[in-house]
Structure 1
Amino acid sequence: MPPFSICDTENMELRFADSADLPAIAQIINQAFSVELFFKAGDRITLDEVQRLSKKGRFMVLEENGEIQGSVYVELRGERAYLGLLSTNPARQRSGIGSRLTTAAEEFARESGCRFMDLRVVNLREELPVIYGKFGYEITGTEDVALEAGQRFTRPAHFITMSKELGHR
Structure 2
Amino acid sequence: MESSAPALSFRPATGSDTDALVALVQSAYRGEASKVGWTTEADLLDGQRTDADAVAELLARPNSRVLVAERAGELLACCQLERRGERAYFGMFSVRPERQGGGLGRAVLAEAERFAREEWQAAELEMTVIVQRSELIAWYERRGFRRTGVLSPFPYGEERFGVPKRPDLAFETLTKVL
TM superposition score category, shorter chain reference:
0.7 to 0.9
**Partner residue in 2 for 1:26:** 22
Equivalent of residue 154 in structure 1, options 145, 152, 165: 165
Gaps of 5+ in 2: 31-39
Q: CA deviation at 1:94?
A: 0.8
1:133 to 115, 129, 141: 141
May I ask how many residue pairs the two structures share in their alignment?
160
Identity between Structure 1 and Structure 2 (%): 31
Equivalent position of 1:4 in the other structure? none
Residue 144 (structure 1) aligned with residue 140 (structure 2): no
Structure 1 stretches (4+) deviating beyond 6 angstroms? Answer: 7-10
Structure 1: runs of 5 or more not aligned: 1-6
Q: Indicate the residue corresponding to 1:78 in structure 2.
A: 85
- Structure 1 counterpart SS, 2:163: coil
Q: Which residue of 2 aligns with 1:163?
A: 175
Distance verdict in 2 for CA 1:8–1:125, change over 3 Å: farther
Question: For 1:11-55, what per-residue CA distance to the aligned partner results, in whole angstroms no more than 9, with x for missing partners?
Answer: 122111111112111110000012212121212111111111112
In structure 1, what is the Cα distance between the partners aligned to 2:108 and 2:97?
Answer: 15
Task: Give RMSD over aligned pairs.
Answer: 1.9
Give how far 1:151 is off. Answer: 6.7
Aligned-partner residue type, residue 39 of structure 1 = L
Q: Secondary structure at the match of 2:107?
A: helix
Q: Give the superposition deviation at 1:8.
A: 8.7
Matching residue within 35, 40, 45 for 2:45 = 40
CA shift, 1:153, in A, is 1.2
Report the TM-score when normalising by structure 2: 0.83
